[in-house]
Amino acid sequence: MTAPDAPVEALRDRRRRETSIEICAAALDLFEAKGVHGTTVDEIAARAGVSPRTFFRLAGTKEDAVFIDDGRFADALSGVADVGDDIRALLSALRGVFARELELLDADAQARERYLRVRRLIAHEPSLLGAAVRREVTSADRFVPELAERIGLVDFDVRTALGIAGLEMRTTLDEWARLHDQGQTRSLVDLHRDVERRLTRAAGA
């Protein structure tokens, strides 16, 4: 299944990613059990089996620990290509990236459960909400100019497209989580299509 010319993932990179996952899981567990404020970095680091120094190198901040990812999604966003300098085409491409992400969630029950846990945690830990918003904005600030430059659109158009795609994504996840709490199961990708359709109609396009 692996492309023959795909470079074998370096041991270092794999270790690094595994360690990040360990830290992330430890942080999630501890934050749930004792709250963010009640948890120290030393505890998270110990549980993840690394030194506090390494914790900070990988996690950045205590709150961010629970949001560590492998950068795959960010890469996918940055990797959007060959859409020409057309905002509609860009929106379509971004939707595809978000849809792909939802597809992965649909296929991975463990990831869905993890998402719900983080979501619950954010709901009653304002410091985590702050961190989540900060992460999102910071990442957009890096991503937008880079992409705008590459495909020849102004920042504003890229932000607009990203705003719409992001709104659809958030709405989809919100609705999905709401249905989930009511005991209903829906495919995220299907829901995403519904949201997209509804939003497109509302926007009069």
**Contact positions toward DNA, by CB under 7 A?**
10-13, 15-16, 19, 39-42, 49-54, 56-58, 60-63
Q: Which of DNA, a copy of itself, none is residue 60 near (CB under 5 to 8 Å by kind)?
A: DNA
Considering only 40, 138, 187, 200, the residue that binds a copy of itself (CB under 8 A) is: 138
Q: How many amino acids of this chain bind a copy of itself (CB under 8 A)?
A: 11
- Min separation Cβ 64 and DNA, Å: 8
Nearer to DNA, 53 or 201 (CB): 53
- Min separation Cβ 131 and a copy of itself, Å: 7
Is residue 133 a contact residue for a copy of itself (CB under 8 A)?
yes
Q: Which of DNA, a copy of itself, none is residue 41 near (CB under 5 to 8 Å by kind)?
A: DNA
What 3 state SS string does the chain have? CCCCCCCCCCHHHHHHHHHHHHHHHHHHHHHHHHCCCCCCHHHHHHHHCCCHHHHHHHHCCCHHHHHCCCCHHHHHHHCCCCCCCCHHHHHHHHHHHHHHHHHHHHCCHHHHHHHHHHHHHHHCCHHHHHHHHHHHHHHHHHHHHHHHHHHCCCHHHHHHHHHHHHHHHHHHHHHHHHHHHCCCCCCHHHHHHHHHHHHHHHCCC
Q: Which of DNA, a copy of itself, none is residue 126 near (CB under 5 to 8 Å by kind)?
A: a copy of itself
Nearer to a copy of itself, 125 or 196 (CB): 125
Nearer to DNA, 3 or 11 (CB): 11
- Spatial separation of the C-alpha atoms in residues 120 and 23, rounded to whole Å: 19
- Min separation Cβ 135 and a copy of itself, Å: 8
